[in-house]
Amino acid sequence: MNIQLSRKHNDIAPSVTLFVDAKAKEMQAKGINVIGFGVGEPDFRTPENIRKRAIYSIENENLGYTPASGLQKLKEAICDKLKLDNGLEYKMEHIIVSNGAKHSLYNAFQAICNPGDEVIIPSPYWVSYPEMVKMADAIPVFIDCPEEKEFKLDIKDLKNAITSKTKAMILNSPSNPTGSVYTKEELEEIAKVAVEKNIIVISDEIYEKLIYDDATHVSIASLNDRIKDLTIVVNGMAKAYAMTGWRIGYTASNAQIAKIMGNIQSHATSNPNTIAQYASIEALSGDQTAIENMRLAFDERRKYMVDRINKIPGLSCIVPKGAFYIMMNISQYIGKEFNGNKIKGSLDFADLLLEHAHVAIVPGAAFGVDQLMRISYANSMDNIKEGLTRLENFLPQLK
């Protein structure tokens, strides 16, 4: 076809996390026993009360179109949740329900960005942030957040990155891929700068229920009215409620931004899945016991994996305080070879590990850090033990 297609979208990179998962599943389809530590997806079933509410809605509810921005009852449940969990007061006109938190983020960037605007992204970052910024005709600006600082943003680096073109910054706590959780004091420093410079904060809080040790989740929007007005809170059902495939996310923001996001969505997708919306009302309002049970299981796996990785020669990691990921440092293996294949970075390491040890993990290059690998503990303990054993047995073959 001799037609020039979209230059902007032709440059969008595919999701490396989904690519790794697809390759692992392709190998599994061929009968190869692959241990997958790639995609960030709880390995638990959606809790029974949520599944039953979905079935009830199929049999008894009107399953036609809902308002494009979501069911009124779901918005009410979200407002109640934000007040109870986060100390945030929102009305229904501030809430937009979308097709997953990823869709919510896309709407947010489309609503606030103009060509040439800059969006600050702390690195390591979730793989889709830079691409979404570029899709909104804006420019991603990265700030390195090193391992020795727990992968968290230094306030001096934030101030130095701000220019006259800075429109927004991304805050992801608990973090994918690092598991880092910002303290209230750290958030207060960030909020002060954002208010002084009039910068929008996109606060991705999808992992807020998955918190460990002495950490607590604080939404930056809850600190004061000024930062609340500048914040777009992003959350959803996928991670805490094991509802990845149900595709329900939501935002809470000031009414002006919410109206633009709602208008965008009304033309792009219309309403999110109606059945999933009814199920999400139950998820937010119903029994939360299963959620705590999942968190405790993740915590047990987290502790085991951190201890095991730090005992493997040449590997190390810091202790994550949230989500279900560990950033594993492989810098001592960069430059080594396997059967004549030199490991130049995390992509090479991931390819060799998948091909020869049948273990799938995501290269850190996808998150802006080539000396690290993201390894998920959203997997059974048996798989975690077997996968780490395969990893440990493979490493001595690297010379």
The closest of 194, 262, 205 to 228, measured between CA atoms, is 194
Helices (H), 151-240: 155-161, 184-197, 225-230
Of residues 180, 168, 190, the one with CA closest to residue 123: 180
- Backbone torsions φ then ψ of 263, nearest 5 degrees: -65, -40
Q: Residue 167 — very low, low, confident or very high, per pLDDT cuts 50/70/90?
A: very high
**Strands ordered across the beta sheet of 362-363:** 325-329, 372-376, 362-363
CB-based contact 326:374 (threshold 8 Å): yes
* pLDDT tens column, 256-311: 999 999 999 999 999 999 999 999 999 999 999 999 999 999 999 999 999 999 99
Q: Which residues, at least 6 apart from 185, have a Cβ–Cβ distance to it below 8 Å? A: none
Tell me the C-alpha to C-alpha distance, in Å, between residue 270 and each of 24, 237, 252, 263, 292. Answer: 34, 19, 18, 9, 33
Q: Is 160 left (phi over 0), alpha (psi -120 to 50) or beta?
A: alpha
The pLDDT of residue 123 is 98
- Over range 345-368, report the average pLDDT: 95
- With beta carbons less than 8 A apart as the criterion, state whether 295 and 209 touch: yes
pLDDT of residue 39: 73
Helix (H) / strand (E) element for 87: namely none
What b-and-e string marks burial along 87-96, b requiring 16 or more CB atoms within 10 Å of the CB? Answer: ebebebebbb
Confirm if 166 and 120 have CB atoms less than 8 A apart.
yes
Put simply, whether the predicted model's pTM sits higher than 0.85 gets the answer yes
pLDDT at 26: 87
Q: Which of 12-21, 244-253, 376-385, 387-396 has the lowest mean pLDDT?
A: 12-21
Average confidence (pLDDT) over 163-188: 98
pLDDT band at 248 (very low <50, low <70, confident <90, very high): very high
Inform me whether the pLDDT recorded for 145 exceeds 90.
Answer: yes
In which residue are the tokens 């896309």 written? 106
Pairing mode, if any, of strands 337-338 and 166-172? unpaired
Under a CB-based contact definition with an 8 Å cutoff, are residues 336 and 396 in contact? no
Structure-block tokens of residue 20:
């790794």
**Is residue 87's pLDDT more than 80?**
yes
Residue 91, phi then psi, degrees to nearest 5: -105, 170
How far apart are the C-alpha atoms of 259 and 257, rounded to whole Å? 5
User: What is the structure's pLDDT at 265?
Assistant: 98
Q: Would you tell me how many other CB atoms lie within 10 Å of the CB of residue 268?
A: 14
The strand pair at 95-98 and 118-123 is best described as: unpaired
Contact status, residue 35 vs residue 390, Cβ threshold 8 Å: yes
Q: If you average pLDDT over residues 18-37, what whole number do you get?
A: 86
Kindly indicate the confidence band of residue 16, based on its pLDDT and cuts at 50, 70 and 90.
confident
Confirm if 133 and 140 have CB atoms less than 8 A apart.
yes
More confident residue, 20 or 237: 237
Residue 80 tokens, joined = 């109640």
User: In 3-state terms, what secondary structure has residue 305?
Assistant: helix
SS3 sequence, 273-304?
CHHHHHHHHHHHHCCCHHHHHHHHHHHHHHHH
Listed in sequence order, the residues at least 6 apart from 245 whose beta carbon sits closer than 8 Å to its beta carbon are: none
Q: What is the pLDDT of residues 98-141, one digit of tens each?
A: 999 999 999 999 999 999 999 999 999 999 999 999 999 999 99
Residue 279: both structure tokens together: 């199920």
Going along the chain from its start, the domains and CATH numbers come out as 7-45+290-397 (3.90.1150.10), 63-285 (3.40.640.10)
pLDDT value at residue 25: 83
